[in-house]
Amino acid sequence: MSFSDYINDLMRHGKCSFTVQQAQSALNKSAGAIYSSVKHLLTKNELATPAKGFYVIVPPEYQILGCLPAEHFIPYLMEYWQCPYYAGLLTAASYHGATHQAVQAFQVMIQGRSRPQILCGKIKIRFIANRHLNETPVQSISTAKSMLKVSTPEGTAMDLLNYPEQSGGLNHIATVLAELKDCMKPDQLLALAKSQPTHAWKQRLGYLLEVIDAIELAAVLKKYLAQQKRVDYIPLMRGLEELTEPPRNATWKIIENATVESDI
């Protein structure tokens, strides 16, 4: 089998990526021979390499991007790296209908240390380390070429408040939540709140849900927090220097050191 035949066979079987080791095994060739064959197709933009030793097949309709869309190959790349993951934050929100503002980079939550971002053609992928990766509820979404792990609407909302800098700030988060709220289920939100020991994200999320008039969802968190033995006052926006004494919201025990406005 020639290298071109190998690529065509992968495509016939609906596959969009391969590793050097997989090509070696299929073709019984050395790594050097595989790299030589790959180089020719890279120059023709028929292959792209988002990571060393990992290649994606780029059909004509995506060659203007210089790469496949990230959702097509991220599951296979994570398997190649043996790295637990899920698509999260603004990327996850977009899969749940929050499309008011375009996502600039595909955001992937990973276990352990973060990784440098990937820039493959016009495709940008950012990795965010999450020490509590396994505690976030996820679901699988079918894409054109893969089954992609994505945080649930409730898990996405939690992450947005835990990673505000990567989520565009409070105003952007409020806008995303306004689009996300119809997908969120009160019972799932309560289950998630009960499973997480820290309260800060629950306070901030409840406050923002009230701001965007998601009253039923806010009520779930309000009742839950009222039953806890200790819930301390926290600033709405972390790291913001307080020049004056800001007002305090007694319901959520939030120090209102910032104002929030949704674009919706």
CB 54 within 8 A of CB 74: no
pLDDT of the residue at 244:
72
How would you classify the pairing of strands 123-129 and 106-110? parallel
Q: Name all domains of the chain by residue range, CATH numbers in brackets.
A: 3-62 (1.10.10), 70-255 (3.30.460)
- For residue range 69-117, what is the model confidence (pLDDT) as tens digits? 999 999 999 999 999 999 999 999 999 999 877 788 999 999 988 899 9
Comparing 18-27, 60-69, 96-105, 179-188, the range with the smallest average pLDDT is: 96-105
Amino acid letter for position 112: G
d(CA 19, CA 155): 32
Tokens of 178: 């306004």
Distance CA 87, CA 104 (A): 14
**Alpha carbons 236 and 225: distance in angstroms, whole number:** 16
Q: Is the pLDDT of residue 36 over 90?
A: yes
Q: Is the pLDDT of residue 242 over 70?
A: no
Contact 183, 96 (CB under 8 A): yes
pLDDT at 239 over 80: no
Secondary structure of the chain as H, E, C letters: CCHHHHHHHHHHCCCCEEEHHHHHHHHCCCHHHHHHHHHHHHHCCCEEEEECCEEEECCHHHCCCCCCCHHHHHHHHHHHHCCCEEECHHHHHHHCCCCCCCCCCEEEEECCCCCCCEEECCEEEEEEECCCHHHCCEEEEECCCCEEEEECHHHHHHHHHHCCHHHCCHHHHHHHHHHHHHHCCHHHHHHHHHHCCCCHHHHHHHHHHHHCCCHHHHHHHHHHHHCCCCCCCEECCCCCCCCCCCCEECCCCEECCCCCCCCC
| Other residues' Cβ atoms within 10 Å of the Cβ of residue 22 | 18
Sheet with 123-129: strands ordered across: 118-120, 123-129, 106-110, 85-87, 147-151, 138-142
CA Rg, the chain, in Å? 22
pLDDT given at position 240 = 63
Are the CB atoms for 55 and 17 separated by under 8 Å?
yes
Span 149-165, pLDDT tens digits: 999 999 999 999 999 99
pLDDT score, position 16? 97
